[in-house]
A and B are shown apart, each in its own frame.
Chain A
Amino acid sequence: MNDVKCECGHVNPHGTVLCEACGKILDEQADKNQLLDMRYEGSARRSQTYNKTIIDKIWNFFSSVKVGVWLIIITLIASALGTIFPQKMYIDQPPEVYYQQEYGTLGKIYYQLGFDDLYSSWWYLLLIAMIGISLVICSLDRVIPLYKALKAQKVTRHEGFLKRQRLFGVNSDAADKDLTLVKEQLQRKRYHIREENGNLLAEKGRFSRWGPYINHIGLIIFLIGTMMRFIPGMYVNENLWVREGETALVPETGEKFYIHNNKFILQTYDKNKDKTFAQALSKAGEVAKNYQSNVVLYEQSGKSLPGEKPKLKKVMDYKIRVNHPLSFDGYSIYQASFRSELSAMTFSLMNKQTNQTYGDVKIDLYNPKETYDLGKGYSVKILNYFPDFEFAKNGEPSTKSRDPNNPAFIFRMYTPDKPKGETSFVAIRQTIEPFGNNTYKMAFRGIDTKNVSGFVVRKDSSMWVIILGGIIFMIGVVQGSYWQHRRIWIQRKSGQVWIAGHTNKNWYGFKREIETVLAGTKLTMPEDQLQAGKNKEEG
């Protein structure tokens, strides 16, 4: 494991293929190749060099681009599998029922394999994590040697290095004025020129070689950002339903913020008003135009205990719409959905025979009163209230939940002629008179509904990391894709002038650039040895 000293005097790390300074071929195996493999400047990629301990083996596994590509391909296929049927989060039935019912046996197998929640499965996360590890190790293993090699490169290069470049040509001699012209033209093309003993190295766009590593750094930062969500307190994602006219605590804000819902608004497109869309609307029917909640955001001044009435200070009025969330103090509240709920029911106390009524009772379904006095000796008492009525197994009336989805009441109606009162059980489209025939009834008059806005409360404290990662990634990709690292060597070797060129991509453009650089001189265009070889093969 010794370092290798090249004949030019430069000391290269073990495993180097091409001398970092002069480009002489140090690895005998590479010698036989017609053209040099310039991918990492022939530098010693450390992963390939040391392979002793288990740590080294793991390291080398992740350092391989081949492994990296396989990881990408496997992730790609796995991701595609997850789109065959809808994921668990997009269905509104229990998954064990849904998949078989909708997609038959295939659906059942899909569910049994756990593909219904593929993207949060341990193995999918592990795949992403392995890509992340591969990114770190691949980059580390390549960027450092590449940096050293590009930094150590000297102007004068070894003969073998020049000869085995893809672009290479020999001129028997060149006049000094030709060389000066070439230099000028190179400078005009923004080449950075270094000279040494009449030899010349023109180079530009070296920074594009760092592009891949910078975008990998961006990706890693991005992944770290998404990982940070799992740190408690970094990420909030809560549903919040607020009825019109009510004030609710915004969850996960440490009892600090309250939101009052003034009104929920649903607008749809109107065929007659939105004439442009008339044709489409006549086919599609109702199309929503706007979902909006007019809210007031409050902040608690001081600290109250849960259950205590908080002292609220208004922060702002806001109209929350889709695409226009309410943002404050790192939190965002989004308009996510809505529903309409029964809020009140109205009944009339009525004589069954004469159909005469003795006043209306409007019952607030969230907080019914015990007694409703109608005057003149008429009153109604609610003995029991079932907001979400059903008959329990034992036949007793009971309620399924606290939400007024199907309200039912047991009324006792007091009237001057029945001062002891009559009992009546009233549910939607159902009246039972448990103690025989009544004289009076509670006649249904109408319902009031109230909209309930569904909000999503979000806080994403790692968002800036994700954004930073995204920006760095884009910079890296653009840097690596839209620029090329181009080098031209013009060197005097044994009385001749040798020209060799290398670019990391986009050879066509590079060759045209060399043509313009050499224009007006006697120097001949170097030959594309790769194409020459091919042409020979093709005959």
Chain B
Amino acid sequence: MKKRRLVMRTIILLVLCAAVVYTLYANFTKDNHQSVAVGSKAPDFVLTDLEGHKHRLSDYRGQGVFLNFWGTWCPPCKQEMPYINNQYHQFRDKGVQVLAVDIQESPLAVNEFASRYHLDFPIMIDTNKEVMTAYGIDPLPATFLIDKNGKVIKYYTGQLSENLVREFMEKIKP
């Protein structure tokens, strides 16, 4: 009888406690927008680049994909774009693809930017922010490293240095 009472009380208190802890925990993590988790499959998408070629992420299965979200107006993007371009030249024959997704800007501005910095990797515009939403990113620039199996192996926000770009591409080299 006494045993049973103790067990009952313990169970009830544990359940209540768990609920409270979970709520508190969830409350403090709610603001972090859920971005695509490392280790999960990268959401597929189709976008058209400035030259009019369609790029579908899943077509690059077997290659590593360096997926970069950017905007012409964002100062760190301006800094890192030439680095990415340099490293793209080093790695494109080693099975690393760069896809640069601009968020909702006019083709004119993006074109101008691309030609000013002589960028020659595929640049595409996410006109309706659909890809951005699918990846759940907020501040630009944001970079996803996707391995040859289509899995996200790293998510990085903020400006990249040239060394970092090289290191990242080395990581996804198949």
Q: Do A and B bind each other?
A: yes
Which residues of A approach B to under 8 Å, CB–CB?
A: 1, 46, 50, 53, 55-56, 58-59, 120, 122, 125-126, 129, 132-133, 136-137, 140, 224, 227, 230-232, 247-249, 251, 255, 305-308, 366-370, 382-388, 392, 398-402
Known contacts A140-B12, A399-B73; 13 further A-B pairs (Cβ under 8 A):
A55-B6, A56-B6, A122-B28, A125-B24, A126-B24, A129-B23, A136-B12, A137-B12, A305-B44, A306-B45, A398-B73, A399-B72, A402-B105
Contact check, B131 vs A307: say whether CB atoms are below 8 A apart: yes
Which positions 54-68 of chain B face chain A at CB distance < 8 Å? 56
Contact with B13, one of A58, A368, A386, A388 (Cβ below 8 angstroms): A58
Docked complex Cα distance between A528 and B131 (Å): 78
Contact check, A384 vs B16: say whether CB atoms are below 8 A apart: no
Docked complex Cα distance between A157 and B56 (Å): 85
Contact with B106, one of A59, A367, A388, A392 (Cβ below 8 angstroms): A367
Contact with A305, one of B13, B45, B71, B103 (Cβ below 8 angstroms): B45
Docked complex Cα distance between A140 and B16 (Å): 14
Given A307-B126, A307-B131, A388–B45 Cβ distance below 8 Å? Answer: no
Contact check, B27 vs A249: say whether CB atoms are below 8 A apart: no
Contact check, B27 vs A383: say whether CB atoms are below 8 A apart: no
- A252 to B, closest residue via Cβ: B133
Segment from B107-115, B156-164, B165-173 that makes contact with A:
B107-115
CB distance from B104 to the nearest CB of A (A): 6
Contact check, B46 vs A230: say whether CB atoms are below 8 A apart: no
The 3 A-B pairs with the shortest beta carbon distances in the complex, nearest first, are A230-B26, A306-B130, A307-B47
CB distance from A175 to the nearest CB of B (A): 51
Contact check, A387 vs B6: say whether CB atoms are below 8 A apart: no
Given A55-B10, A383-B112, A251–B107 Cβ distance below 8 Å? Answer: no
Which residues of A have CB within 8 Å of B47? 307
Which residues of A have CB within 8 Å of B24? 122, 125-126, 129
Docked complex Cα distance between A126 and B106 (Å): 49
CB distance from A322 to the nearest CB of B (A): 26
Which residues of B have CB within 8 Å of A129? 19-20, 23-24
Contact check, B16 vs A132: say whether CB atoms are below 8 A apart: yes
Contact check, B9 vs A387: say whether CB atoms are below 8 A apart: no
Contact check, B19 vs A307: say whether CB atoms are below 8 A apart: no
Which positions 119-137 of chain B face chain A at CB distance < 8 Å? 124, 126, 128-131, 133-134
Contact check, A368 vs B106: say whether CB atoms are below 8 A apart: yes
Which residues of A have CB within 8 Å of B46? 305-308
Contact with B73, one of A125, A133, A308, A400 (Cβ below 8 angstroms): A400
Contact check, A59 vs B9: say whether CB atoms are below 8 A apart: yes
Docked complex Cα distance between A255 and B43 (Å): 12
Contact with A385, one of B71, B108, B134 (Cβ below 8 angstroms): B108
Contact check, A230 vs B20: say whether CB atoms are below 8 A apart: no
Docked complex Cα distance between A387 and B105 (Å): 9
Contact check, A136 vs B108: say whether CB atoms are below 8 A apart: no
Which residues of B have CB within 8 Å of A392? 75
Which residues of B have CB within 8 Å of A230? 22-23, 26-27, 30
Given A56-B9, A136-B12, A249-B128, A387–B109 Cβ distance below 8 Å? Answer: yes
Contact check, B107 vs A367: say whether CB atoms are below 8 A apart: yes
Contact with B6, one of A1, A53, A400, A402 (Cβ below 8 angstroms): A53
- B57 to A, closest residue via Cβ: A305
CB distance from B61 to the nearest CB of A (A): 15
Sample (17) of A-B pairs whose CB atoms are under 8 Å apart: A53-B6, A56-B6, A132-B20, A133-B16, A227-B22, A230-B27, A305-B45, A306-B45, A307-B45, A307-B47, A366-B106, A367-B106, A370-B111, A387-B105, A398-B73, A399-B109, A402-B105
Which residues of B have CB within 8 Å of A388? 73
CB distance from B142 to the nearest CB of A (A): 15
Docked complex Cα distance between A59 and B10 (Å): 9
Contact check, B106 vs A401: say whether CB atoms are below 8 A apart: no
CB distance from B88 to the nearest CB of A (A): 21
CB distance from B94 to the nearest CB of A (A): 27
Interface centre among A55, A305, A306 (most CB of B within 10 A): A306
Docked complex Cα distance between A366 and B108 (Å): 10
Which residues of A have CB within 8 Å of B105? 387, 402
Contact check, B45 vs A55: say whether CB atoms are below 8 A apart: no
Which residues of B have CB within 8 Å of A58? 13
Contact check, A385 vs B131: say whether CB atoms are below 8 A apart: no
Docked complex Cα distance between A1 and B2 (Å): 10
Docked complex Cα distance between A368 and B131 (Å): 23
Which residues of B have CB within 8 Å of A366? 106
Which positions 135-151 of chain B face chain A at CB distance < 8 Å? none
Which residues of A have CB within 8 Å of B109? 384-387, 399
Contact check, A133 vs B20: say whether CB atoms are below 8 A apart: yes
Docked complex Cα distance between A370 and B112 (Å): 10
- A384 to B, closest residue via Cβ: B112
Interface centre among A133, A224, A307, A398 (most CB of B within 10 A): A307
- B111 to A, closest residue via Cβ: A370
Contact with A306, one of B75, B103, B108, B131 (Cβ below 8 angstroms): B131
Given A249-B130, A368-B106, A383-B112, A125–B23 Cβ distance below 8 Å? Answer: yes
Contact check, B106 vs A385: say whether CB atoms are below 8 A apart: yes
Interface centre among A232, A305, A308, A383 (most CB of B within 10 A): A305
Which residues of A have CB within 8 Å of B56? 305
CB distance from A270 to the nearest CB of B (A): 38
Contact check, A227 vs B23: say whether CB atoms are below 8 A apart: yes
Which positions 73-117 of chain B face chain A at CB distance < 8 Å? 73, 75, 103-109, 111-112
